[in-house]
Amino acid sequence: METLKADMQRRLDARLIAAIAAAGSLSFCAVVFETALNVALPALMDEFGVGTATIQWITSGYLLMLAIMIPVFPYLKRRFPLRRLFVAAVALFLTGTLACGLAPAFALLLAGRVVQGMGTGIAIPLMFSLVVDQVPYDRMGLMMGFASLITSLAPAVGPTYGGIVIGLAGWRWVFLALVPLVAGAFCVGAACIRQATDLDRGRFDVAGFLLVAGGFFALVLGVNRSSGAGWLSAPVLGLLVLAAALIAAFAVHSLRVCDPLIDVRMFSCGAFACSVGVVALIAFAILAYAYLVPNYAQLALGADEMVAGTLLLPGCLGAVVLAPVGGRLLDAHGARVPIAVGMALLLAATVLYAACAARLTPMLLMGFYVLFGAGQGFAFSATMTNGLAQLPEAQRTGGSSVFNTLQQLGGSIGVSAVTAVVGAAQVGAQGAASLADATADGGAVAFALLAGIMVAAAVLSAASFALARRA
């Protein structure tokens, strides 16, 4: 094992940048698959004979596994060298990718996505751990922006890539064509990832893991089932109550054990807790729009796969370009400026979607998402960096895992909630015209929901700065 001395740990060089990029490549590929498949969902529903509520599990199942795996990373990081963890992540991700590409049935496609989630659930926190543990403090905002840029680039590439590949070769090649990129990431990461922290053989919090996993699963399943049963039905309410009970039990458990899976004491820092909420809500909207926009364009507006696949591209490119800019602004002037600008843009975009729901066209879908992507670029990584800065350094690796866990959980719930809203409107629709009208009606409700989510995010963002001033 290669352990760096304390005075060498924070050194920004080409090797560290390459290591961050290699770990981020798995997340990049996973999000490319996710957004590319959003373009193909109508075709997948026909091929496998499943409905809207079922097909969305290829996204929700993946994100749920991600949310379950990420809290385990702090234990894995203490127990195993980072290079070995990266190799395991690549092996899992590659296995899942091949299973998806060769899947003869929906069950195997879903299983492949879950295995991909296991691999990405190691790679994402590993990438941010490299930033938190090894990047000099005065470059932290820039490199958090770079890490976010890697994953922000994927939604820009995914829909266009999916539209082209699906049109030319079919949806299976969405997975198979990126296998060489995964292999290249493996070679770079295995050569460049270095160890900056010592290892120990601490105890794994099995009870905490089971409580968190059960709570997250019940929550996502409850939101998903609402599309058919309704929010006030006994099964849905039962699942939501079970989720709340399991998560509450985990919080109590965390306070009683010496080495919990997630140390809930860090939530006593109000500015950190509010920042986590903001990131989770933005992730809710990001993944919801990634599902909603291309499907709305196809089913409600009659756009083809190629057009639907390009609607998110300009906005995602804006997020890619502006993420490092937001990081540089944070390093130079503090977090308030990039976060305030970003939240204003996010709020404007979501309100415009909701206000213009009855008059949406493919061009308006694209234009409003340009505003959203710009807001994401300024606010998302800056909010994470600012939230982590409120914690003592010893808690920041755990804090990074909390951010990434609730980001994935927020995205999973976002996809499930929007799918539930649109799916409920589509129930009983017969014929193409009826399906288009139902999708438009459900989409209008979904756009209004996302506007409300972003209002809540803006309130939490303002509260985080108010609480930081009092601390």
CA dist 217 → 40, 65, 109, 250 (Å): 25, 9, 19, 14
Question: How does pLDDT run across 298-339, given as a tens digit for each residue?
Answer: 888 988 777 877 888 888 888 878 877 888 888 888 889 999
Higher pLDDT, 368 or 38: 368
Contact 117, 69 (CB under 8 A): yes
CA dist., res. 196 & res. 397, Å (int): 13
Question: How does pLDDT run across 264-296, given as a tens digit for each residue?
Answer: 889 999 999 999 999 999 989 988 898 889 889
Show the tokens assigned to 379.
């606010």
Contact 416, 220 (CB under 8 A): yes
Question: How does pLDDT run across 10-67, given as a tens digit for each residue?
Answer: 777 888 888 888 888 887 887 788 777 777 777 788 888 887 667 878 877 887 787 7
CA dist., res. 249 & res. 241, Å (int): 12
CA dist., res. 309 & res. 156, Å (int): 9
**Between vectors from CA 42 to CA 40 and to CA 46, what angle results, nearest 5°?**
115
According to DSSP H, which parts of 230-269 are helical? Answer: 234-256
Q: What is the mean pLDDT of residues 179-203?
A: 86
Give the pTM: 0.78
Residues with Cβ within 8 Å of 411's Cβ and at least 6 positions away in sequence, in order, are: 63, 283, 284, 286, 287
Higher pLDDT, 419 or 249: 249
CA dist., res. 346 & res. 375, Å (int): 5
Higher pLDDT, 229 or 315: 315
Pick from 23-27, 71-75, 200-204, 365-369: least confident: 200-204
